[in-house]
Amino acid sequence: MEWEKQSEILLNRVPFFVRKMVRRKVEEYAVSVGAQTVTQEHVHAAKQKGRPVGPAVDPNDRFSVIRRIENIPADQESIPMYAVEACQADGIDCPMSVAEGHRLTEQIHQILEKSGLTDFITNSVSGPLLPHHRFKVSISSCPNSCSQAQIKDVGIIAQLKPKLNNGECSQCGQCVEACREGAIALQDEDPGICLDAGQCVYCGVCIRACPTDALDEEEGCGYALYLGGRLGRRPRLGEKAADLLSTRQLLAVFERIVSFYTTHAQPGERFSHVVERLGLQDVAAGIELPFRP
């Protein structure tokens, strides 16, 4: 269902862990009043209606808690034990976006659907299955990471590496002004710009700011990979495992991540705990990362 820009902005203010449920509730309300597009008035009206009570907890249904929290019907037998979240850059034409996240999200979903991960987690966990048992993936279309990739089991952040072109710099300084990281300085020698790779976060802002094409994309978009993040009782930020992976490299590595998890996890253990227990170096070796920071 289509959402107006202002209604999407309101939705993005909702905490990420209930955003999917809120989206569904607002759309249900909009449909009930005969609308085909969600407006901000629908968002406000749905909020006033309040959250309906979900199905009662059934002690014989291991998914019962998840059903209640997410209002999933009792007759829906298959409930994925993974979650893939992407930022809203595609839907709002975000000026910071350096990559389209929709296609990559679909590809990650396809890998997870074929992996048997839901069965693995269901059989690994004893007792009721809860939302925190899910294998969580976040995809962000720029290094601002609005989808909070650093607190997921696997975080994917799009990057755009700048390339310096000799003889094109006019010394206007617009790239220096645009860079929030202090990673760019002007210099007298060709190419006229000095780039500090250690400070650069590959956001691509300098490329868009340059009026003379002195700065250009180097080999298009790439992806940073973070592993082992989580919230909960003992929060942990994910560790950066790689920079500037191509889409092909990233998808191949992701398949190996899922396989590594199902092979090395102890009963009931989340992937973030596997990374914490074994250490990033051993995990990176086990998933055969092509690049490491």
CA distances to 88, 91, 137, 185, 280 from 102, in Å: 9, 9, 14, 35, 28
Instruction: Say if strands 215-227 and 154-164 run parallel, antiparallel, or are unpaired.
Output: antiparallel
Those residues whose C-beta lies under 8 Å from the C-beta of residue 269, and which sit 6 or more positions away, are: 124, 277
CA of residue 13 relative to chain centroid, distance: 16
**Both structure tokens of 178:** 């645009």
Give 21-71 pLDDT, tens digit per residue.
Answer: 889 889 988 998 889 999 988 988 888 765 444 455 667 888 888 888 887
In whole angstroms, give the CA distance from residue 169 to residue 86.
Answer: 36
For every residue of 81-108, DSSP letters joined together read SEEEEE-SHHHHT-TT--S-HHHHHHHH
The residue extents of the domains of the chain are 162-219
Give 185-227 pLDDT, tens digit per residue.
Answer: 998 887 788 889 889 999 999 999 999 988 988 877 899 999 9
pLDDT class of 263 with cuts at 50, 70, 90: very high
Task: List the CATH code of the domain at 162-219.
Answer: 3.30.70.20
